Every structure is written in C-alpha cells, then in structure tokens.
Amino acid sequence: DQWFGCSTCHDPETMELRVYQQGFIDSMARRGIDVNNASHNDKRAYVCAQCHNEYYFMKEDGRVNHPFDNGLDAESEYQFYQSGQAGGFTQDWIHADSKAPMLKAQHPEFETWATSVHADAGVTCVDCHMPYMRENGQKYTSHWMTNPLKTTEESCLKCHDESAETLKARVQTIGDNTFKLQRIAGQTVAQAHKTIKAAMDAGATDEQLAESRQLVREAQWYWDWVAAENGMGFHNPDKIMRTLGLSIDKAHQCIEKTNAVVKGSL
C-alpha cells in the first residue's frame, strides 16, 4: 500500500477516518449505506473496502462501479452481471479455447469478510491488519498493512485466548482446505473449456454451445472469485467453500451438457 496518500483514509483537516473512492461511496449508497456517516467501527472496514473489492468499469463513461446491488457474495454479483444491471458491460475477455465470454474477478476481500463470523462480531480489517503496537511506552496504530500472522500477538491475541501457535495452525488448516478445493475447481473448469473446444472441433455450432458457454462462464467466475481473493479462505471459510462448490457443480453441468450436445447432434 505505497502509492496512495493519507487522505485516502483520513480527512486532511481533522484526521478522522473518511472514505475517498467515489465509486465505492455510490455503490454503498445504492445499498442504503452512507459510508462517510457510518459508525467509527464500520469505517474501520470501509476505508479498506473502498479498494479491496470486486469492481468493473462502466461502458458508458469508464467510471469504477461495483456489483453490490443484489448482495455481497459471488452469486449475487454474478446475477448483477447477468441481469443487465452493469449496463453495457457484459464481459472482460473471450476464452481462447471455448470462446466463452468471461468475467474477471478482482479481489473481493470486503465481500468475503462482510458476512463472516468476525464481521458479525464487529471485528474489522483494521483490528487484524493494523493492530495497535507499542514502542517505548507509546501506543500507535500499525500502518504496515500486511499478513497479520507477522503480528499474531498484537493482531489476534488481544481477543483470542488460544496460543499464537494454535491460531496459526488454524489459519494454515483453512488455507490448506481452500487451496485443495480451489485446485479441484480450477482443474474442473479447465476440463469444461476443453470439452467445449473438442465439441467445436467436432462441428458443434455456436447456437448448440451457447448454454455450455454460459455454464463455464459461471463456473469460472466462482473459481476466480476465490482465487482472486487474498485471504486463502481465512476471511470467511464457509462462504469460500460454498463458492468453490458452486464452481465445481457448474463446471460438471457444462461438461455434461456439452457431451449431450455432441452425442445428440453429431
């Protein structure tokens, strides 16, 4: 976090916390939340959330916008893109093998955290990532935003009774489980793209493959939502596992559908 200034998070006059990114302010307003009049504790999440989220550029004028209107999870955001709520924006790229119109997820840390056990308990990004530190008897807020396991004592033990070792092992276990399922999802999605490519090579038409391409688009969105999130599951293990489960399911549906197209028509 080197390239932005104090005023991204602090009012330059009063040094109070404030949110600066207009796209985030507008997107949260559509959810009925005025971020700059939120509680002090909520602002301790919003100052980070203004960048650590999923976004896209509006086709009409290039402004940053967020797919938050229907909810803060991968399914609601997908629905936002599918339903035309993103206006002229419909895709980020076309997959080279399957020719499916793809979306690229950014880093949805805010959305992942938003419905977590920690968020429900009022624990914000700042509690873990900007802990209070002590130096020569002085207490200050760490501005080194990095992996909290570098400061487990200050970041976690002010609330948790477990030892630092136990907590680290817990984070590691969540990370291992997430990594394993993320790989399975990634490989299944890759297989789905290949299956479509094989069907194309065998002569299947765009019309016949339209549904398959929608399924792989959705499958990869769920995988990417997790892969692009930087917490490796920790911020919200069950939300992340649900999202990976959806990815694997949609990828299998794609493979089945594509095989049916090939069997039925060629």
Q: Is 194 in the site for ligand HEC (CB under 6 A)?
A: no
Residue 118 binds ligand HEC (CB under 6 A):
yes
Q: Is 145 in the site for ligand HEC (CB under 6 A)?
A: yes
* 126 lies in the binding site for ligand HEC (CB under 6 A): yes
Strands 138-141 and 132-135: antiparallel
Judged by beta carbon, residue 80 or residue 113, the one nearer ligand HEC is 113
Q: Of residues 198-237, which lie at the interface with ligand HEC (CB under 6 A)?
A: 230-232, 234-235, 237
User: What are the structure tokens assigned to 43, written together?
Assistant: 């602002």
Q: Scanning residues 4 to 33, which ones bind ligand HEC (CB under 6 A)?
A: 4, 6, 8-10, 17
Tell me the closest approach of the beta carbon of residue 73 to ligand HEC, in angstroms.
14
**Which 55-114 residues touch ligand HEC, going by CB under 6 A?**
109-110, 113
Alpha-carbon span 126 to 46, nearest angstrom: 10
Interface residue with ligand HEC among 83, 90, 147, 265 (CB under 6 A) is 147
Q: Rule CB under 6 A: is residue 141 a binding residue for ligand HEC?
A: yes
Cα separation, 33 vs 109, whole angstroms: 18
Give the list of residues 6+ apart from residue 40 with CB closer than 8 angstroms, or none. 17
> Three-state SS for 233?
coil
Q: What are phi and psi of 32, to 5 degrees?
A: 85, 20
| Closest distance of CB 142 from ligand HEC, Å | 8
In the complex, minimum distance from the CB of residue 243 to ligand HEC, in angstroms, rounded to a whole number: 15
Among 35, 72, 100, 130, which residue interacts with ligand HEC (rule: CB under 6 A)? 130
In the beta sheet, which residues pair with residue 138?
135
What is the Cα–Cα distance from 74 to 80, expressed in whole angstroms?
Answer: 10
10 Å CB burial of residue 97 (0-12, 13-18, 19+) is middle
Q: Does 258 contact ligand HEC by CB under 6 A? A: no
Residues counted in the chain: 266
Provide the minimum distance between the beta carbon of 162 and ligand HEC in the complex, in angstroms, as a whole number: 8
157, with CB counted inside 10 A (0-12, 13-18, 19+), is middle
What DSSP designation does 31 have?
T
Please report where in the chains the tokens 């765009």 appear, as a residue.
Answer: 206
Residues 189 and 172: their CA atoms lie apart, in Å, by: 25
Question: Min. distance of Cβ 207 from ligand HEC in angstroms?
Answer: 41
The one among 175, 191, 211, 253 contacting ligand HEC by CB under 6 A: 175
Binding positions for ligand HEC, rule: CB under 6 A: 1-2, 4, 6, 8-10, 17, 44-45, 47-52, 109-110, 113, 117-118, 121, 123-130, 140-141, 143, 145-149, 155-156, 158-160, 167, 170-171, 175, 230-232, 234-235, 237
